[in-house]
Structure 1
Amino acid sequence: MQHTYLKSLWLGLGLFCAVHTTAQESVALFPLNQVTVTSGVFKDAALTDFNYIQDLNPDRLLNPFLREAGLKPKAESYTNWENTGLDGHTLGHYLSALSMYYASTKDTKANALIIYVLAELQKVQQANGNGYIGGIPESNTLWSEIKQGHINAGSFSLNDKWVPLYNIHKTFAGLKDAWVFAEKPEAKTMLIALTDWFIGVTKNLSESQIQDMLRSEHGGLNEVFADVYQISGEKKYLDLAKRFSEQALLNPLSANQDVLTGMHANTQIPKFIGFERISQLDHDQKYHQSALNFFNNVVNQRTLSIGGNSVREHFNPIDDFSEVLSGEQGPETCNTYNMLKLSKMLFEDTANSGYIDFYERGLYNHILSSQNPKGGFVYFTPMRPGHYRVYSQPETSFWCCVGSGMENHTKYNELIYAKHKDALYVNLFIPSQVSWNEKGATLTQNTDFPEVPSTELVWSSKKNVQTTLMLRYPEWVTAGTLKLYLNGKLQNIAGTPGSYIPIRRIWKNGDTIKMEVPMHLSVEDIPDQSGYVSVKYGPIVLAAVTGDANQDGLFADDSRGGHVASGPFLPLTESPMFVTEKNENILNKIKAVSGKPLEFSAEDLIQPSAYKHLILQPFYKIHEKRYAIYFKKESPRGLEKMQQTLAEKQKAEAYLRTITVDFIAPGEQQPESDHGIESNQSHTGVNQNRHWRDATGWFSYQLKNNDKAAKALRVTYFGKDANRNFKILINGKQIANPKLKGGKGDVFFDVDYEIPADLAKSSDILKLRFEAELGSVTAGIYGVRLINVAID
């Protein structure tokens, strides 16, 4: 019997008599081992994922854990994020993915890997002797400092370590999933011991110290602690979950205050998953309201057509998506991984089909599209027309989106069906079979959706069963067009889009339902209404292939920036656009391609003429190509003016890219991590939607001086920063001593500083340091650019 992970998790199984917690249940999900995806793109994606997982060497993933426990590793650690500070974070994802895949398929190879990894982690926990399991570099020193109350927290570090709370959360989650899904009792034992160790480390910290720690990215610690509470029934774990809930997010979002712009997106999403988990177990309305308001804010105001959000990992202003459309670092896959998790939980609480509509959008258009059918996961999905994505490789790439990516494609069966008392909900149109053990029945779904807009449901049972099937009426189906046949007879239905159609009867073996869910074309504006649109067919986002040239780094190496598609941009003036008269309906010019489901042409709509023969097709089918998801909508008269404006902007952007040797966006997590950020008494913030970093002490970066081409350093400041006296050093040598007076007003401005030739030619890595003079503070640094042109 699998332990079902949902609000009714572990309840009613007769296994944990000490558990007295109850959940605010509306619907329950079926355990993964009771739902099988039988064919189609999702089954193929799961197999591709498992093949990728099998290409990983568990001993290399285990290396940091053995090392920190004083044991001899069996293999060298992987590189990339796995040996540059986030050592060990991948193993938790790996264990979660294996556990869900095993639950879904009973694959013996997956089971063997789970057993092996848990046995090695048991050795680690025994060697540590205190319950600890972790691969964080210099673990003993870090946790000793924290236990003693010595805390130096920043958004992306804690006591000079790269987000160690985020890191160890993956270990907690992996152990929890190995118990919940793979039913390994040793995982439960290790999980509880690890949580008790964590309580011991933090029990003497004050509330303010805990909240200070939580400024550092910490994943979903509050969620997993709440799960341990439900596993064990011991309230101390719920107390721990609440203690590790960040009040700076809980309070404003519970009051529906939008404080999200400029925040690192995936740092925040897991916190709200934890809020909702606590709410489910403790009925705390404040936690639920905070999670609900956050979900509504992100989905309704910050989400793109594919279901993703953010630019360069941060929430952009809700009224300005220009950077999303112009840059190469679009929605991060981890964000959607977590937003789907939150939508699933909110659906469990409400049985509201709107959460399924969002889940379906993100599932097909972002999650499914984020894995190459030949293997490899995507970090960023650029929204810039004509750009491309980068794919991971098993031996080189250990980003966060590789970890969550391994999980994504093992659990496509998690939300196809749900149940409540004697009702079974059919949520998604995916070929599958569900075993409803309480009723002694199975329901088989046969479908080629979305290629064919229909599905067939076949009931099987030895005895006749009176119950209700709740059939989702998707919001994308036009009212009155859905047709439902029971045993071949057309039924009168009263349902409306965005609801469920209840069919209650005594079901007999072989009873069959057929649903026709007609899809139609629609156009969706980008959230800031700036004139860019995306085309959908039913829930499926359509995109066009624009070429395959100059996809630099298409398959990532192990460099810190290897996940970014850094190849040349297609100029926006040359990208495909929709050109039509203002009052003309775009959809009238998009025509289905005969004999090719889900393919459309728009020859009379698309310009420039070089692109008039583009085919609109499901984005999830496009790989290893440049593509366009969003199209600028223009009238013939407005096209010339728009192109002139864009051309001037792009000329400046192209020149800047030409002279740039390296660039850092201070205050943003990944750019700083990729450049080896170090700091003392340093702070970050957002001003006019731009991130900054300053210091009363100092901070430093490692700039990549490729080909030793640097000649100058360009630094971006804010005009009102006053009384800022500081030094700029490169490789320990002072190159400037700025003294900002604050007299330039409410503007951002650049200053170029010459780098002495002997210094610029000395190394491929230049260590840049901003250091405040005694009693002063550095300026807020908004941009750092190494350039290859000399100062006039």
Structure 2
Amino acid sequence: MCFITPLQIQAQSSLQSFRLQQVKLLPGVFNDAQQTDMTYMLALDPDRLLAPYLTEAGLTPKKKNYGNWENTGLDGHIGGHYLSALSNMYASTGNAEMGRRLDYMLRELKRAQDKTGSGYLGGTPGGTAMWKDIAAGKIVADTFALNKKWVPLYNIHKLFAGLRDAYMVAGKTQAKDILIRLTDYIDGVSRKLTDEQIQRMLISEHGGLNEVFADVAVITGQDKYLILARRFSHKEILNPLIQHQDRLDRLHANMQIPKAVGFQRISEVGGDADYGKAAEFFWETVVNNRSVVIGGNSVNEHFNPMHDFSKMITDIAGPETCNSYNMLKLTRHLFEKGANVKYMDFYERVLYNHILSSQHPAHGGFVYYTSMRPRHYRVYSQPQVTMWCCVGSGMENHGKYGELIYSHQQKDLFVNLFIPSRLNWAAQGLVLSQQTKFPDEETTQLIVEAVKPGTFSINVRYPNWVKAGKLEIKINGAKAAVDAQPGSYVKLNRIWKKGDKIDVRLPMEITTENLPDSSHYTAFLHGPIVLAAKTDTTDLDNLIADGDQFGGYRARGKMYPLDAAPVLASNEPDITRYLKPVAGKVQTFIAPELISPATFKNLELIPFYKLHDARYMIYWKKTASN
């Protein structure tokens, strides 16, 4: 049965993203991060990542699989992430080796799938037998296990997503065939189960299977996959969200976020309004009530109680990078639906302060937990040793920075992010480059390098962090009227010509933001950029992570007493006036008369994404001065 999706019907009114192939990063911090990520990816051996799939199919692997999470039950999950990461990087850069590795992975996966003969493909040890048991109604599930195996649904979702991305992002048709055969296998199993049995399975962490099944419905035009997506939507989470009820306290955060991404995707593809309501409410409550200043959420992987964020300060295991990876997915979908700038403000906040900061700029290691505890630190992965979930999503993160810099609505262009880049929009004959050193400088310049004759709009985002009346635009040196307000777009409609230049000034100010529970802990921002202070480099145990399966990603060094951390000592309600720029240093501030005790008075506050290999302060306790 074929259908026309509401997504297609609404295409004329909603924003459309450009393909990664159409946006190239220009020199800057994001391009540097992309190249660092590619180096990390090249250090991995595809044959070792493929070993779990070949073994489970009854084939002899060419090399031994990796250790850590890759040989202790979650075998194969990094291989799925690697497909997505290769797809992103190949699409973004055109790097031939990325394409070659992707082709090789797909050939080997097809060989394994052909060997099973059923359409099944997976790396979970004993996965074939497990699915036969499930088809027979033998289902024993808890949060992190299904039929005594470590989250096999979550694991296979990484493969599903990797195959989807290999086809939809990188254009590899072989991936489409493998994906549909695997989906048909799961659909065949599900047809033998009642809805209650499937819901029992979904107690176990299962990633965003509902999202991928909705995507397969779009790829094939077949309604049966949309039905599968609805059946694999966890009603225990869905139904309260539809009623705008927040029951997320203490739930495992990254188990829930991918479900919400799937709810939104089902709403787009199938027109299910309630699913859309659930996704929007989920976003609102997580962003407004459960996220800290860097845009991330969770302590020890679980959502804080809304009115008690004390563990965010006392614990070392702050926001998990995978959570933000998935929140950006949800944010992108919601932004494209309605072009509301609040979504892009959040996207930008997370992109700079959590995602960009989660990769080491030199050796490329990825961060699992970003500690908010005063004077603690982060731990970085290494390619041959650590195989955490945040390594998998980390490889994906830094290869797709171009996904939302620009959008379009019919022939009108939207400039969403201020990142040095070049857009090639062949359908409109438009080549547009963005030259900027933002956020080190408060300006960006858009240059029309080629364009077809005709009138259209270039819409420039007016962020909420720029005060009303402060954003300035010049076109070819002449000041343009800005009648828009923060939280909207400045519409520049005219006949654009080759060589036209748009100069945008985005004044940034120092602001503060408390923890969501309004406690006495506060953080500083400069525009959208979180500021942090390096305090020391002592006791950095396992700064480069070891292979400890469930402890290597935690910063195990000494926890310094909270009462020994520097504080903000002031009776003034506006403490931002104490921060002064440091002469000769970009985005660097100092406040010696504000920070106490005296041993910490000369701490410099810099963008958090630039701070590595050290203990730091993001949140400061505010106390009255004597």
TM-score (norm 1): 0.78
Q: Does residue 293 of the first structure (1) align with residue 281 of the second (2)? A: yes
Deviations 1:547-570 (A, max 9, x none): 011111111111111000011011
Deviations 1:44-88 (A, max 9, x none): 000000100000011111111010000001111111100011010
Match of 1:114 among 99, 102, 105: 102
**Distance apart, 1:491 and its partner CA:** 1.2
User: Counterparts of 1:633-712 in structure 2 under 5 Å?
Assistant: 633-637=622-626
**Distance apart, 1:465 and its partner CA:** 2.5
Three-state SS of the structure 2 residue aligned to 1:413 is: helix
Distance 2:490 2:625 in 1: 46
Match of 2:566 in 1: 576
The answer on whether the counterparts of 2:451 and 2:496 sit within 8 Å (CA) in structure 1 is: no
The answer on whether the counterparts of 2:5 and 2:271 sit within 8 Å (CA) in structure 1 is: no
Deviations 1:442-482 (A, max 9, x none): 11100000011010001122542310011100100011111
**Distance apart, 1:117 and its partner CA:** 0.5
Match of 2:312 in 1: 324
Distance 1:597 1:472 in 2: 24
Match of 2:424 in 1: 435
Distance 2:405 2:2 in 1: 31
Distance 2:319 2:584 in 1: 33
Match of 1:158 in 2: 146
**Distance apart, 1:284 and its partner CA:** 1.1
Bigger radius of gyration: 1
Three-state SS of the structure 1 residue aligned to 2:433 is: strand
The answer on whether the counterparts of 1:464 and 1:509 sit within 8 Å (CA) in structure 2 is: no
Deviations 1:179-202 (A, max 9, x none): 011111110000000000111122
Distance 1:480 1:597 in 2: 25
Q: Does residue 340 of the first structure (1) align with residue 324 of the second (2)? A: no
Match of 1:564 in 2: 554
Amino acid at match of 2:267: S
Match of 2:121 among 124, 127, 133: 133
Q: Does residue 496 of the first structure (1) align with residue 485 of the second (2)? A: yes
Deviations 1:544-601 (A, max 9, x none): 00101111111111111100001101111111111001x3421111101112120000
Match of 1:211 among 192, 199, 217: 199
Match of 1:586 among 575, 588, 591: 575
The answer on whether the counterparts of 1:272 and 1:291 sit within 8 Å (CA) in structure 2 is: yes
Q: Does residue 371 of the first structure (1) align with residue 359 of the second (2)? A: yes
Match of 2:299 in 1: 311
Three-state SS of the structure 2 residue aligned to 1:524 is: strand
Match of 1:452 in 2: 441
Distance 2:50 2:425 in 1: 38
Three-state SS of the structure 2 residue aligned to 1:636 is: coil
Distance 2:3 2:139 in 1: 35
Match of 1:468 in 2: 457
The answer on whether the counterparts of 1:590 and 1:600 sit within 8 Å (CA) in structure 2 is: yes
CA 1:19–1:52: 2 relative to 1, 3 Å: farther
Match of 1:21 in 2: 5
Match of 1:689 in 2: none
The answer on whether the counterparts of 1:446 and 1:457 sit within 8 Å (CA) in structure 2 is: yes
**Distance apart, 1:21 and its partner CA:** 2.6
Q: Does residue 57 of the first structure (1) align with residue 45 of the second (2)? A: yes
Three-state SS of the structure 1 residue aligned to 2:401 is: coil
TM-score (norm 2): 0.98
Amino acid at match of 1:433: R
Give 5+ residue unaligned stretches, structure 1: 1-16, 638-792
The answer on whether the counterparts of 2:2 and 2:223 sit within 8 Å (CA) in structure 1 is: no
Three-state SS of the structure 2 residue aligned to 1:563 is: coil
Aligned residues: 620
Match of 1:80 among 56, 65, 68: 68
User: Counterparts of 1:731-746 in structure 2 under 5 Å?
Assistant: none
Distance 2:2 2:423 in 1: 30
Give 5+ residue unaligned stretches, structure 2: none
Deviations 1:252-310 (A, max 9, x none): 01111010001000000000000000001111110000000000000000000000001
The answer on whether the counterparts of 2:321 and 2:355 sit within 8 Å (CA) in structure 1 is: yes
Match of 1:256 in 2: 244
Three-state SS of the structure 1 residue aligned to 2:516 is: coil
Distance 1:513 1:40 in 2: 20
Match of 2:518 in 1: 529
Deviations 1:728-756 (A, max 9, x none): xxxxxxxxxxxxxxxxxxxxxxxxxxxxx
Distance 1:35 1:250 in 2: 35
Amino acid at match of 1:579: A
**Distance apart, 1:128 and its partner CA:** 0.5
Amino acid at match of 1:577: V
CA 1:494–1:343: 2 relative to 1, 3 Å: same
User: Counterparts of 1:392-407 in structure 2 under 5 Å?
Assistant: 392-407=381-396
Deviations 1:473-526 (A, max 9, x none): 010001111110011001111111111011110111111100000000001111
Amino acid at match of 1:336: S
Match of 1:360 in 2: 348
Q: Does residue 148 of the first structure (1) align with residue 132 of the second (2)? A: no
Q: Which has the higher strand share?
A: 1
Distance 1:362 1:326 in 2: 22
Return the structure number with greater relative CO, CA threshold 8 A, min gap 6.
2
Amino acid at match of 2:569: V
The answer on whether the counterparts of 1:589 and 1:604 sit within 8 Å (CA) in structure 2 is: yes
Deviations 1:117-167 (A, max 9, x none): 011001000100011110101112211110100000101100000000000
Match of 2:403 among 411, 414, 429: 414
Percent identity, aligned pairs only, is 52
**Distance apart, 1:531 and its partner CA:** 0.4
Q: Does residue 387 of the first structure (1) align with residue 389 of the second (2)? A: no
Amino acid at match of 2:204: S
Three-state SS of the structure 1 residue aligned to 2:404 is: coil
CA 1:585–1:462: 2 relative to 1, 3 Å: closer
**Distance apart, 1:22 and its partner CA:** 4.0
Three-state SS of the structure 1 residue aligned to 2:361 is: coil
The answer on whether the counterparts of 1:64 and 1:135 sit within 8 Å (CA) in structure 2 is: yes
Distance 1:44 1:366 in 2: 16
Three-state SS of the structure 2 residue aligned to 1:218 is: coil
Q: Does residue 538 of the first structure (1) align with residue 515 of the second (2)? A: no
Distance 2:127 2:297 in 1: 34
Amino acid at match of 1:126: D
CA 1:164–1:339: 2 relative to 1, 3 Å: same
Distance 1:570 1:482 in 2: 43
CA 1:462–1:477: 2 relative to 1, 3 Å: closer
Amino acid at match of 2:4: H
The answer on whether the counterparts of 2:431 and 2:451 sit within 8 Å (CA) in structure 1 is: no
Deviations 1:648-668 (A, max 9, x none): xxxxxxxxxxxxxxxxxxxxx
The answer on whether the counterparts of 1:545 and 1:625 sit within 8 Å (CA) in structure 2 is: yes
Q: Which has the higher helix share?
A: 2
Distance 1:584 1:35 in 2: 44
Match of 1:604 in 2: 593
Amino acid at match of 1:502: K
Question: Is 457-466 or 398-407 further displaced after alignment?
Answer: 457-466
Amino acid at match of 1:175: L
The answer on whether the counterparts of 2:418 and 2:444 sit within 8 Å (CA) in structure 1 is: yes
Distance 1:216 1:545 in 2: 40
Amino acid at match of 1:628: M
CA 1:18–1:285: 2 relative to 1, 3 Å: closer
The answer on whether the counterparts of 1:19 and 1:231 sit within 8 Å (CA) in structure 2 is: no
Distance 1:521 1:21 in 2: 45
Deviations 1:354-404 (A, max 9, x none): 100000000000000000012100000000000000000001110000000
**Distance apart, 1:636 and its partner CA:** 2.3
